[in-house]
Amino acid sequence: MQVQPPIAMLAELTHRCPLSCPYCSNPVELTARESELSTDDWRSVFEQAAAMGVLQLHLSGGEPASRRDLTDLVRAAREAGLYTNLITSGIGLTEKRLAELDEAGLDHVQLSLQGTDAAMADRIGGYRGGYDRKMTVAKWIGEIGFPLTLNFVMHRGNMHQLGRAIEMAQEMGARRIEVATVQFHGWAMQNRGALMPTREQATEANRTVAEARARLKGTLVIDYVPADYHADYPKPCMGGWASTGINVAPDGLVLPCHAAQTIKTLEFDNVRDRPLADIWQNGSAFNAYRGTDWMQEPCRSCERKTIDFGGCRCQAMAIAGDPTATDPVCVKSPDHAKTRDLAADFSAQDEAEMTWRVMDKTPG
Ligand code: SF4
Ligand code: FES
């Protein structure tokens, strides 16, 4: 069967990052600089991606600005014909570097926000002075005129700042804000006690987003990932496994999603060894949960199975211990009550210590 190509590629250029957010979506076993793909390797990946039909390239990390060759990578991607989006904390970008990225053809910038004031942002990012630096970078981004998306990652500690984050997006001239509640994989999984929002916070965030969407219609687009441990139905993670998105890790491993390595039964191919299109089409990890044939009950006979695709495979693994299970967030899952209890328990752990991301952390 010929499968449709992915629309978007997430290129995790590096796991290196000056920040150390406790919810980082990178795996707990981070890739060292020596193992990263070279400039030429990435150029080949971009050309292969464009040839197979990928349209958008999200340049991510870690912090992509930690790669000295970032401008060359953007140029290579544009020459391959890809739309380029830089996902950055802003740290490591100078006015000169941004001008060079503009000249190289960068299409869009997505700037992360750890909090709406220096005290919150610098504490969560683990980087003193980071917030002030980010505000300066935001000003340069506006002066150059890059289309901007602000990305606000929410958790129990900063969810009360949502309204202000939306205001800041407007003040910065952003066209879009992505409001994403922390997803519990990798580093965030180790910090569920410190990060899990309360049910009241989740409800209040839903209300704030609905009100802002109505008020700012036509002015600001608000993408929203709600606190799914408190929800009744799961998110359609990745728009369905291996259907619209493909991720390439810093060392060239090709993944169906950023947390796929938490599913230990999967085996991943590397772009150093196998053509990208072949991995997408025939790779065992991509075919493991593609479509709906892999589903168990209750998903198999559910009317929502082509809406949410059974939710998130990595969350099913993390909570139910089975990547083919119904996402435990779902009211129809036998693990739904357990998930509710976990959410209530973690969200009440006010004394929980936070573990910040560190580069040489070994899994524990
Ligand atoms: Fe989605 Fe499966 Fe729940 Fe149906 S049973 S709503 S397909 S997760
Ligand atoms: Fe892997 Fe949702 S994060 S499928």
Q: What is the pLDDT of residue 363?
A: 38
What domains can be seen in the chain, in order of their start residue?
A: 8-230 (3.20.20.70)
Summarize pLDDT for 304-339 with one digit per residue, the tens. 999 999 999 999 999 999 999 999 999 999 999 999
Taking the centre of ligand 2 as the mean of its atom positions, its distance from the CA of residue 315, in whole angstroms, is 7
C-alpha closest to that of 25 among 189, 151, 164, 143: 189
Give the separation between CA 65 and CA 76, rounded to whole angstroms. 16
Contact, 13 vs 250, CB < 8 A?
yes
* pLDDT recorded at residue 186: 87
Strand 108-113 and strand 221-225: the pairing is unpaired
Percent of the chain's residues with pLDDT above 70: 98
In sequence order, the 6+-apart residues with CB closer than 8 A to the CB of 329 are 228, 229, 231, 232, 233, 234, 311, 312, 315, 336, 339
**Confidence check: pLDDT of 360 > 90:** no
- CA angle in degrees (0–180, nearest 5) for 224-227-229: 145
Question: Can you count the helices (H) and strands (E) in the chain?
Answer: 13, 9
Residue 1: pLDDT band (50, 70, 90) is low
Beta bridge partners of 58: 10, 85
Mean pLDDT of 286-297: 97
User: Stretch 182-207: mean pLDDT, rounded?
Assistant: 95
Residue 211 clears pLDDT 70, i.e. is over it? yes
- Ligand 1 probe mutation, 232, 296, 299, most atoms within 8 A of CB: 299
Contacts of 312 (CB under 8 A, 6+ apart): 183, 234, 235, 237, 327, 329
- Mean pLDDT of the 179-187 span: 94
**Cα of 143 from ligand 2 centre, angstroms:** 36
* Distance (Å, whole) CA 274 – CA 317: 27
Residue 234 Cβ contacting ligand 1 at under 6 Å = yes
Say what the pLDDT of residue 2 is: 73
CA angle 174, 223, 187 (to 5 degrees): 100
- Asked whether 304 lines ligand 1 (CB < 6 A), one says yes
252 Cβ below 6 A of ligand 1 = no
CA–centroid distance, 23 to ligand 1, in Å, is 26
Please give the model's pTM, rounded to 2 decimal places.
0.95
Q: What pLDDT score was predicted for residue 242? A: 97
The 10s digit of each residue's pLDDT in 109-119 is: 999 999 999 99
* pLDDT tens digit sequence for 124-178: 999 999 999 999 999 999 999 999 999 999 999 999 999 999 999 999 999 999 9
The answer to whether the CB of 259 is under 6 A from ligand 2 is yes
pLDDT at 361 over 70: no
Closest-CA residue, ligand 1 atom 5, reads 299
Among 309, 326, 333, which residue has the most ligand 1 atoms within 8 Å of its CB, making it the best to mutate? Answer: 326
Q: Is the CB of 148 under 6 A from ligand 2?
A: no
Which numbered ligand comes closest to the C-alpha of 305?
1
Q: What spacing in Å lies between the alpha carbon of 137 and ligand 2's midpoint?
A: 31
